[in-house]
Chains A and B, each alone.
Chain A
Amino acid sequence: MKAAACLIACVLLALPASAQEVKWNFDKLAAKASDTVDVSLSGGLLRLATKFLSDDDKDEAQVKKLVGGLKGIYVKSFEFKNPGEYTAADLESFRAPLHSPGWERIVGTHSTTDGETVEVYVKNEGKNITGLAIIASEPKELTLVNIVGPIDLDSLSQLGGHFGIPEVETEKKK
């Protein structure tokens, strides 16, 4: 019985990072976008980046701790000249892979003021979060984030107030 459990654990550990990586197709939007941000880091390059993050700098040390165990970070952000360059069907095509087992939509917000919608999905394996996906859409901007590997959402959200990000007042700080 123990041997079987060990075997299953080994198989799960040996699963490639691609199992948690969300397969999105950006070809259609990339052609329409006026500006694109593309971050695609995995494997060796991510480990190399971690080595270059300083332990002395408070912000970098925090990021280093956060990304230390990750297998991949993928960010695509498109800016369009005009609203309506991407459709609801495009958005749905990005949501589709996140309907697969393991992925769960934990929160979604929509602002009527600026028309921004943000959806946060996590991939759970047991009690651990092993993947994060964010779909953030504004009339003239679309951002998709996929973080592969064990991610601490608290640590990530604590980066608010750093790098010029406004800090959110949390209950604890009151």
Chain B
Amino acid sequence: MNLDDELRSALQRQEPPPEFAERVLARVAAVPVRMPRPWFRLPVMRWAAAMAATVMLLAGGLEYRHYEGERAKAQVLLAVRIAANKLNKVQRKVQMISHRSNS
């Protein structure tokens, strides 16, 4: 056999044995796949995200309550100022009249 024939014989297409594909797939399925977890799916990161969300919600809530409180306070001061101003005018006029009638 010359070299050409040897090469041809060695490189000729050979059909795989029967059940070859099934065996390969079975072995692939049998080997556990260990994919590295993304960082954001680590339990510690989940806890950290939950804590951060809670802190942000609490901070937001407190900030809004502070804003509401300051606004309400300003409204109370404005209302009292207006009411006191009107009462003051009445009081002044009544006193003026009583002074006049006394003198």
Contact = CB atoms under 8 A, between A and B. Distances in A.
Given A37-B82, A160-B84, A166-B88, A107 B94 contact: yes
Interface stretch (B14-22, B29-37, B51-59, B70-78): B70-78
Contact of B73 (A37, A49, A116): A49
A67 B76 contact: yes
B48 interface: no
B98 to A, nearest CB: 9
A63 B77 contact: yes
Interface string A92-121: 000000000000000101010000101010
Identify whether the interface residues of B are mostly helix, strand, loop, or mixed. Answer: helix
B80 A67 contact: yes
Interface in A22-57: 37, 39, 41, 45-46, 48-53
Interface residues of B, number: 27
Interface of B: 65, 68-70, 72-73, 75-95
Interface of A: 37, 39, 41, 45-46, 48-53, 60, 63, 66-67, 73-75, 77, 107, 109, 111, 116, 118, 120, 132, 134, 136, 143, 145, 147, 153, 156-157, 159-160, 162-170
